[in-house]
Structure 1
Amino acid sequence: MKAINTIALALSITGAAAIPASAAELKPTVILVHGAFADSSSWNGVAAKLRADGFTVIGAANPLRSVKGDAESVANVVKSVKGPVVLVGHSYGGAVISAAAYGQANVKSLVYVAAFAPDKGETALELSGRYPGGTLGSALAEPVALPDGGKDFYIQQDKFHQQFAADVPRAEAELMAVSQRPIAEAALTEQAGVPAWKKTPSYFIYGSADKNIPAAALGFMAERAGSRKTVVIPGASHVVMTSHPAEVASLIEQAAQAKQ
């Protein structure tokens, strides 16, 4: 009987010890939201590093039609995940995650990658022009008229490399220009609602040579949001996740490991 009790006690202790270890190994799911003039493939380098480190990664398709509608689309992806989520947005995708995470209890942190973090009533268009240094307007192609009277914006292919991805090899940037996805004018001029960053911990990373959203604007938004950590990469372009995937993945992992 004594021997049986000793074995039972040993099994009990082993089982108890295994529970915290298993819980500790549970990693949040990382949801990556691309911005304008891009698609989910822009995250490939970041996703590869996160997956190698044991994270489940989802590249959410961003419709690029309206902040509210795009946020609802991403929010549905968030709701489909059982467990904690780190929501990551690039460029206009930052406005989307700010809205999509609002009221979502399983979103533990937000990561803004060269991204907008608008406050209520602000628009992406206004924020990008609030500080000098942005040259996107002069790089845009003739708008494409939409059946509903709206407009779609693209970047001129011959200006894409210097405007959007100056620190990416030219051949790669040229292919990015060909496959770019347009954004509706309505999405850039729609006023934001109450942002999730007011309650959810946020992290920011961007390049000092961003020509789409001036570094001064990105720094302002990071400070206003109370960023837990802000990383500025000297000379990096707007697609810092493509040119510096290791740094971006590292910040996302820090956001995933942080306590609320």
Structure 2
Amino acid sequence: MSPTDNPTVVLVHGAFADASSFARVIPELLGRGLNVVAPAVPNRSLLGDSAYIASVVRQIPGPVVLAGHSYGGAVITVAGVEDNVKALVYLAGYALEEGESLGELQGGFPDSDLAGALVYTPFPLEGSPAPGTDVSVRPDRFHAIFAADVDPSLAAVLAVSQRPLAAQAFGEKAPAAAWKTKPSWGLVAASDHTINPDVERYGYERAGMTTVEVDSSHLVMLAHPGRVADLIEEAVRAVR
């Protein structure tokens, strides 16, 4: 098999995090002989972030398996329509329907603990007199809500190095739902306090995904990297 025939796993991080959230999964995947790319998501808007990830995917020769965590699930739902994307893997993520926004999907279920721990901060928007709004998690609540089963010292670092999500991303509607045409896998973080696990289950069931549940906090990639790598490898094998 040539290198361009072997799928590349593209790891798409979510809100309040960056690509380092895959730091324990990447060695697992590389150790299994898989090609891996973990780009930085701008976290500015669903449409813009999806377009950026799609541009990364188009530059990869050969097939791609897109794996998205949390908000990254919404991003791969849109970016996954690229021709060379052969499978999608959702990790405690949002599987949006075409024409649906994050706010609409999440609004159909009781709030998680995250809702009461968000911080809203204005930031300058180039070319606009009105500022944008960044959304992040209160650092003192980050460990309990986002990473309860991650080492506290690591969670403390993650809490103060968040990549915020612009509020605009919550209201934008997905122009496409790649899971309609691409095989998909979903991991539910059953002890998630960031996204209501029922939001994850609902999206996965609606999409007809192959689904597994792990008793994990939201940052399942750091808490259970082997389980995450197993699911991604299953998707790779299915399309290889």
TM-score by length of 2: 0.94
Amino acid in structure 2 at the alignment position of 1:254 = E
Partner of residue 230, structure 1: 211
> Does the aligned pair in 2 maintain the 1:133–1:211 contact within 8 Å?
no
Report the Cα distance in structure 2 between the residues aligned to 1:170 and 1:155, rounded to whole angstroms.
16
Report the Cα distance in structure 1 between the residues aligned to 2:35 and 2:94, rounded to whole angstroms.
25
Partner of residue 14, structure 1: none
Amino acid in structure 1 at the alignment position of 2:235 = A
Shift in CA distance, 189/53, structure 1 to aligned 2, threshold 3 Å: same
Give 2:99's match in structure 1, choosing from 121, 139, 143: 121
Give 2:85's match in structure 1, choosing from 103, 107, 119: 107
Amino acid in structure 1 at the alignment position of 2:213 = V
Structure 1: which 5+ runs fail to align?
Answer: 1-21
Amino acid in structure 2 at the alignment position of 1:113 = L
Report the Cα distance in structure 1 between the residues aligned to 2:71 and 2:44, rounded to whole angstroms.
11
Give % identity: 45
Amino acid in structure 2 at the alignment position of 1:178 = V
> Does the aligned pair in 2 maintain the 1:208–1:232 contact within 8 Å?
yes
Q: For residues 176-209 of structure 1, give each alpha carbon's deviation from its aligned partner in whole angstroms, at most 9, with x where no partner exists.
A: 1011111000011111112111001100012111
Report the Cα distance in structure 1 between the residues aligned to 2:93 and 2:189, rounded to whole angstroms.
11
**3-state SS, counterpart of residue 205 of structure 1:** strand
Partner of residue 181, structure 1: 163
Report the Cα distance in structure 2 between the residues aligned to 1:48 and 1:24, rounded to whole angstroms.
19
> Does the aligned pair in 2 maintain the 1:206–1:238 contact within 8 Å?
no
Amino acid in structure 1 at the alignment position of 2:150 = V
Partner of residue 147, structure 2: 165
Report the Cα distance in structure 2 between the residues aligned to 1:196 and 1:211, rounded to whole angstroms.
27
Partner of residue 122, structure 2: 145
Report the Cα distance in structure 2 between the residues aligned to 1:166 and 1:173, rounded to whole angstroms.
8
Bigger proportion of residues as helix: 1
**3-state SS, counterpart of residue 60 of structure 1:** coil
Q: For residues 41-82 of structure 1, give each alpha carbon's deviation from its aligned partner in whole angstroms, at most 9, with x where no partner exists.
A: 000111110001111100011100111110111011100111
Partner of residue 84, structure 1: 63
Report the Cα distance in structure 2 between the residues aligned to 1:112 and 1:139, rounded to whole angstroms.
24
RMSD: 1.6
Partner of residue 203, structure 2: 221
Partner of residue 50, structure 2: 71
Structure 2: which 5+ runs fail to align?
Answer: 126-130
User: Could you tell me how far 1:237 is from its partner in structure 2?
Assistant: 0.7
Greater CA radius of gyration, 1 or 2? 1
Report the Cα distance in structure 2 between the residues aligned to 1:136 and 1:125, rounded to whole angstroms.
14
User: Could you tell me how far 1:25 is from its partner in structure 2?
Assistant: 10
Amino acid in structure 2 at the alignment position of 1:186 = Q
Report the Cα distance in structure 2 between the residues aligned to 1:172 and 1:128, rounded to whole angstroms.
28
Report the Cα distance in structure 2 between the residues aligned to 1:126 and 1:166, rounded to whole angstroms.
27
> Does the aligned pair in 2 maintain the 1:241–1:248 contact within 8 Å?
yes
Q: For residues 199-228 of structure 1, give each alpha carbon's deviation from its aligned partner in whole angstroms, at most 9, with x where no partner exists.
A: 01100012111112111111110111110x
Report the Cα distance in structure 1 between the residues aligned to 2:17 and 2:107, rounded to whole angstroms.
21
User: Could you tell me how far 1:129 is from its partner in structure 2?
Assistant: 3.2
1:207 paired to 2:178? no
> Does the aligned pair in 1 maintain the 2:4–2:62 contact within 8 Å?
no
Structure with more relative contact order (C-alpha pairs < 8 Å, separation 6 or more): 2
Report the Cα distance in structure 2 between the residues aligned to 1:259 and 1:78, rounded to whole angstroms.
16
Report the Cα distance in structure 1 between the residues aligned to 2:90 and 2:69, rounded to whole angstroms.
6
Query: Number of aligned pairs?
Result: 235
